[in-house]
């Protein structure tokens, strides 16, 4: 990249502030075809693209409604993927795009592209949705309104069921070709009281047979706590059970089906899972901006940290084509007022993102939380 002219020298904006701004507003790309691979639809956060800011790889929205109207513009990157972010004509920061993973160029023996089985999230985490269907998704009265698990399947970007053998094959290639260091396995909730734990066990065994890779499994709390030991014994190193929203009223409005599993059941499951996986190795995903207040989120986080659960708080990002596609993202100040005291709380408790063996909290790309943690430690 050519040196930045003195008149365009980036304004000194703290990294955590810039991340909050870009994750809240998204960015407009001068050249949408440049900058690497983005993700549309699917389970979990989507409609975004990984960008590295001051050494931290974060997921920035590029395909949803806020991004289309964002005041932040990212220039076409150079051959090394480097670019600049500007607002109102002034450069305020630099970003680096991620090069296309090499394992994406491969396919299974029966012709399925590896990218339809698992994808690269953040910088070095392999992610897959084992079962790309959910018992709640087709029901308007039960579906999580932010979920797009069926979109990528309908668009042909993935397959409905990934086998343990396929997952092991792709994981091995991702480690050898792209330096992947951990893996996230999530799943749509299948019928049955195990709520996905069984399929996670089968898949983890398949991956660990192919490559020694730390794995986070993600599912709803199973009815029987024995599944926590079974998942650990199958090779799952850390566990995610995601609240998404923290108050029963917001949960009932936003995810009426999943809300049938109460917050108190989640806490009983957390208390049973932490002794199995270890303090800080059980986490929960919290979407800020769905209606829970800052204090309600921080109160739940304090309780979670008290039982040894890592609360991974991320800004809600609307996904095109979902019932919440027009729901606003939380303002950067809202995220700052949560993430700053939460980082203090986590550091004081000795529960850092860097200590998590695998998963979303370790990756950290969907939130500025790990950046706040580093600031506290410094």
CB 241 within 8 A of CB 218: yes
Task: Give per-residue pLDDT as tens, 64-123.
Answer: 777 888 999 999 988 888 999 999 989 988 999 888 899 999 999 889 999 999 999 888
The pTM of this model reads 0.90
Task: Give per-residue pLDDT as tens, 277-311.
Answer: 999 999 999 999 999 999 999 999 999 999 999 99
Q: Quickly state the pLDDT bin for 193 (edges 50, 70, 90).
A: very high
Within 13 Å of residue 219, how many CA atoms lie on the same side as its CB? 27
Q: Residue 32: what pLDDT?
A: 77
| Mean of pLDDT over the chain | 90
Q: Quickly state the pLDDT bin for 135 (edges 50, 70, 90).
A: confident
Q: What does each C-alpha distance from 366 to 56, 328, 373 come to in angstroms? A: 11, 17, 14
Structure tokens at 114: 């590896």
Q: How many Cβ atoms are within 10 Å of 40's Cβ, its own excluded?
A: 18
Q: Residue 263: what pLDDT?
A: 97
Report which DSSP code applies to 97.
E
């Amino acid at each position: 990249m050519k040196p930045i002219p003195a008149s365009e020298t980036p304004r000194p904006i703290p990294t955590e502030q810039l991340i909050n701004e870009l994750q809240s507003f998204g960015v407009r790309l001068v050249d949408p075809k440049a900058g690497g691979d983005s993700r549309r639809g699917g389970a979990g956060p989507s409609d975004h693209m990984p960008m590295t800011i001051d050494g931290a790889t974060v997921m920035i929205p590029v395909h949803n409604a806020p991004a289309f109207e964002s005041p932040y513009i990212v220039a076409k990157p150079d051959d090394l993927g480097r670019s600049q972010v500007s607002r109102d004509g002034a450069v305020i920061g630099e970003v680096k795009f991620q090069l296309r993973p090499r394992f994406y160029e491969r396919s299974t023996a029966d012709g399925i592209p590896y990218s339809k089985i698992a994808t690269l999230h953040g910088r070095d985490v392999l992610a897959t949705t084992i079962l790309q269907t959910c018992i709640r998704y087709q029901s308007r009265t039960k579906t999580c309104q932010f979920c797009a698990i069926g979109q990528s399947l309908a668009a042909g970007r993935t397959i409905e069921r990934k086998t343990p053998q396929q997952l092991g094959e792709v994981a091995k290639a991702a480690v050898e070709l792209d330096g992947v260091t951990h893996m996230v396995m999530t799943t749509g909730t299948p019928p049955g009281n195990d709520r996905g734990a069984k399929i996670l066990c089968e898949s983890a065994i398949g991956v660990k047979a192919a490559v020694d890779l730390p794995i986070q499994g993600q599912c709803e709390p199973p009815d029987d706590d024995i599944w926590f030991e079974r998942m650990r014994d199958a090779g799952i190193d850390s566990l995610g059970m995601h609240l998404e929203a923290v108050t029963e009223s917001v949960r009932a409005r936003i995810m009426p089906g999943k809300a049938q599993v109460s917050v108190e059941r989640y806490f009983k499951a957390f208390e049973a899972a932490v002794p199995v996986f270890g303090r800080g190795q059980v986490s929960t995903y919290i979407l800020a901006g769905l209606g829970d207040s800052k204090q309600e989120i921080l109160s739940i986080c304090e309780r979670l940290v008290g039982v040894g659960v890592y609360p991974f708080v991320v800004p809600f990002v609307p996904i095109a084509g979902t019932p919440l596609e027009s729901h606003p993202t939380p303002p950067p100040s809202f995220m700052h007022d949560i993430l700053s005291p939460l980082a203090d709380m986590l550091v004081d408790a000795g529960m850092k993102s860097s200590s998590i063996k695998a998963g979303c909290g370790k990756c950290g790309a969907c939130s500025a939380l790990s950046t706040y943690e580093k600031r506290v430690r410094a």
